[in-house]
Amino acid sequence: MIGQCIRRGLLTAALLMLAGCQHASQQPDDATFRLETTRQAQGADQRIRFLVIHYTAEDFHNALTTLTDEHVSAHYLIPAQPPLEEGKPVAWQLVPENMRAWHAGASGWRGRTNLNDTSVGIELENKGYSHYLLGKKFYPFPPAQIDLLANLSKEIVARYQIEPRNVLGHSDIAPQRKDDPGPLFPWQEMAKRGVGAWPDANLVKQYMAGRNPQQPVDQAHLLALLKAYGYTVDENMTPQQQKRVIAAFQMHFRQSDYRGNADAQTEAIAQALLQQFPDSNS
């Protein structure tokens, strides 16, 4: 009898403790229902998996107007020359990170599509490019702008544990439509500061195996490497579309020559990146 009372008392105490834990995790007392949150599923992860960098192709004030209307938006906008408040550079947050912004459009990366749902988008004030007789002239990014971008991006990457290969330009996720942020964007500097991927020079040299950088390689094999890294490659692509994918990769990782040619250096860079940043479930 005494043992039963003790067991009953222990059970009552345990239930009271559980009830206390439940109460601590519930809505306010005036809520119409209660939620039990003491047990959390392991099959969950961050919604945000990608960080996408853009340029505005217009000045700051016009970009701010564009990005705050109902048709297109981004989470952040960074001026070319960020103003200072109390000695700190200012970036504009236009959409909270926990909400979807309309910056990526039709897009794809590592088998995922519609990256608006899973990304944070940052727009940089930059004129983009001008057309000249010999092609496009892209515009550089001021150091103060890149410094602010790097600091902001580093926080975002840490907050959502975004993999280096998932820090992207708009041209990476939409190579058939977009060129931004262009071949003058400092991807290597960003990687040095802990944001994004960059090929290891020694690995690239190993994969080059003494070949001339511009030596032609099998284009189908190169495209297979780029697809393995994350680019959208479709077997029904036209030759021009295939070239656009290669050019997007080169614009990111081999900025001295982004003509879209399938060459030995591009192949070696892709192989190095795949070794440095192996695939995961992201």
pLDDT band at 133 (very low <50, low <70, confident <90, very high): confident
The answer to whether residue 3 scores a pLDDT higher than 60 is no
* Residues with catalytic roles: 123
Q: Lowest-pLDDT range, 40-54, 59-73, 189-203, 231-245?
A: 40-54
Task: Identify the pLDDT of residue 16.
Answer: 40
**Interior angle at CA 243, CA 212 and CA 138, nearest 5:** 85
pLDDT band at 281 (very low <50, low <70, confident <90, very high): low
pLDDT band at 44 (very low <50, low <70, confident <90, very high): low
What pTM was computed for the model? 0.86
For residue 106, give the amino acid letter.
Answer: A
User: How large is the average pLDDT for residues 154-160?
Assistant: 98
The answer to whether residue 7 scores a pLDDT higher than 50 is no
Task: Identify the pLDDT of residue 73.
Answer: 97
pLDDT band at 6 (very low <50, low <70, confident <90, very high): very low
pLDDT band at 14 (very low <50, low <70, confident <90, very high): very low
C-alpha distances (whole Å) from 281 to each of 148, 209, 232 are 30, 31, 17
**Considering the chain, what is the average pLDDT of its residues?**
90
Instruction: Give all domains of the chain, ordered by start, each with its CATH number.
Output: 50-192 (3.40.80.10), 201-276 (1.10.101.10)
pLDDT band at 33 (very low <50, low <70, confident <90, very high): confident
Task: Identify the pLDDT of residue 197.
Answer: 98
Helix residue ranges, H only, 90-218: 143-160, 170-173, 187-192, 201-208
Q: Token match 């345990």: residue? A: 14
The answer to whether residue 280 scores a pLDDT higher than 80 is no
Closest alpha carbon to 82 in 153, 155, 144, 126: 144
| Cβ 24 vs Cβ 95: under 8 Å | no
pLDDT band at 50 (very low <50, low <70, confident <90, very high): very high
Q: Quote the CA–CA distance of 230 and 207 in Å, as a whole number.
A: 20
C-alpha distances (whole Å) from 167 to each of 49, 61, 105, 127 are 9, 26, 17, 22
